[in-house]
């Protein structure tokens, strides 16, 4: 049932976890510091006076250095010396598109348009303890995609919401003069990581993540009956709560001789327990016709791919810009649920083997002290 999750998310997470958890990786920074003296650049106040160029800290290192690092004999990992502890806070604006579904509808009279791009933020705070490791926490959200539409007319009878053998009364959804539909998808994420540094070329992370992904679909109908009206309401709500371990790796490459600009690519993945809750309700002419709830736990995954450019502006401030692609298999989506023909058992089963796609851009800055 979860073939896609197993075939993609699990191998990616296992690969990243294996790379990040090896003792050789975690001790990479320490091994660099124990190199022979011939591999170490000795910094003192007489270098410039003797006409010897003074190396410039790279962007990857400069983003996590405090002011005292630039004026201390223990400058940075780039120079084979020790690393001062540093705090950093990064804020990013996100513009993300939900690419999961195109057009959806429970009536043939009108469709809902695809989701557009929505804005959100990502806040990251962390501390680099030394040359080889640190930690960080991150919040992403909240993203809310909404597609809605309504139609007024005479004898709107194109509803796809029908009852099996009359088990559920849906009279208000036929011969209507007004109908309204809304599809909403929302998401936020919290992450906590231990981060490991391999000089200025690569970083790796190991940690935990919680992702809350919700979907809802509402369909309202108004039917004239003599001098009165009947109203119908169909409401479907789903919540995916993903929690579990994840790992990631980021490759960095300085551009130019000044080391002010660095480009990077990152891959992050994890395998999670997905706690799924669903509720389906139908009201017709003021009567509750259906109210079913269902919960289940299953395996889900997340794979993230990103490309970034980092520009060091001052000793403490740097700018970020990038592109991101998110893939989440093993989740329950509203349009994937079987709601018609409707029976008294509708909503007692949840289809949660679907996959969600998201892509977009990020722009922000980081302050280090």
Provide the residue ranges of all domains of the chain, joining segments of one domain with +: 3-368
d(CA 292, CA 234): 12
Sign of CA dihedral 122, 126, 131, 133: negative
d(CA 132, CA 28): 7
Q: Taking a C-beta distance cutoff of 8 angstroms, is the pair 64, 86 a contact?
A: yes
d(CA 285, CA 265): 56
pLDDT in tens for each of the 369 residues of the chain? 445 555 665 666 566 666 666 544 445 444 444 443 433 333 445 545 555 555 555 544 544 444 344 433 334 444 444 578 999 999 999 999 999 998 899 999 999 999 999 999 999 999 999 888 999 999 999 999 999 999 998 888 888 999 999 999 999 999 999 999 999 999 999 999 999 988 668 899 999 999 999 999 999 999 999 888 999 999 999 999 999 999 999 999 999 878 899 999 999 999 999 999 999 999 999 999 999 999 999 999 999 999 999 999 998 999 999 999 999 999 999 999 999 999 999 999 999 999 999 999 999 999 999
In the chain, DSSP assigns E strands to 86-98, 117-128, 133-156, 176-198, 202-225, 228-255, 261-284, 287-312, 317-331, 354-368
| pLDDT for the residue 189 | 98
Mind giving me the DSSP string for 66-100? -GGGGGSSS--GGGTS----EEEEEEEEEEEEE-S
| pLDDT for the residue 77 | 40
Q: Taking a C-beta distance cutoff of 8 angstroms, is the pair 151, 160 a contact?
A: no
Count of all residues that appear for the chain in the document: 369
Q: What is the CA radius of gyration of the chain?
A: 27
């Amino acid at each position: 049932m979860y073939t896609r999750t197993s075939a993609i998310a699990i191998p990616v997470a296992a690969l990243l976890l294996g790379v990040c958890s090896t003792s050789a990786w975690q001790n990479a920074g320490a091994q660099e510091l124990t190199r022979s003296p011939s591999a170490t650049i000795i910094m003192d106040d007489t270098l410039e006076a003797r006409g010897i160029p003074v190396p410039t800290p790279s962007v990857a290192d400069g983003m996590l250095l405090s002011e005292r690092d630039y004026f201390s004999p223990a400058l940075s990992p780039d120079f084979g010396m020790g690393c001062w502890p540093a705090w950093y806070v990064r804020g990013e604006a996100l513009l993300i598109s939900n690419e999961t579904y195109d057009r959806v509808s429970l009536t043939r009279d009108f469709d809902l348009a695809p989701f557009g791009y929505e804005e959100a933020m990502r806040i990251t705070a962390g501390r680099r303890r030394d040359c080889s490791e640190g930690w960080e926490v991150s919040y992403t959200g909240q993203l809310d995609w909404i597609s809605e539409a309504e139609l007024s007319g005479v004898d709107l009878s194109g509803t796809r919401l029908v009852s099996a053998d009359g088990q559920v009364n849906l009279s208000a959804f036929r011969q209507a003069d007004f109908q309204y539909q809304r599809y909403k998808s929302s998401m936020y994420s919290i992450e906590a990581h231990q981060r490991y540094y391999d000089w200025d070329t690569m970083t790796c992370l190991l940690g935990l993540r919680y992702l809350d992904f919700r979907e809802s679909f509402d369909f309202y109908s108004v039917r004239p009956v003599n001098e009165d009206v009947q109203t119908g309401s169909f409401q479907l709500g789903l919540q995916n709560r993903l929690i579990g371990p994840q790992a990631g790796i980021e490759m960095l490459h300085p551009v130019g001789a000044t080391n002010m600009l660095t480009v990077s690519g990152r891959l992050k993945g994890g395998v999670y327990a997905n706690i799924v809750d669903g509720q389906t309700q139908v009201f017709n002419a003021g009567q509750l016709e259906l109210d079913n709830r269902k919960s289940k736990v299953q395996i889900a995954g997340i794979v993230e791919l990103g490309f970034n450019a980092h520009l060091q502006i001052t000793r403490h401030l740097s700018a970020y810009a990038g592109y991101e692609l998110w893939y989440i298999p093993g989740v329950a989506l509203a349009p994937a649920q079987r709601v018609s023909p409707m029976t008294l058992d509708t909503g007692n089963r949840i289809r949660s083997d679907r996959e969600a796609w998201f892509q977009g851009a990020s722009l922000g800055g980081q302050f280090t002290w």
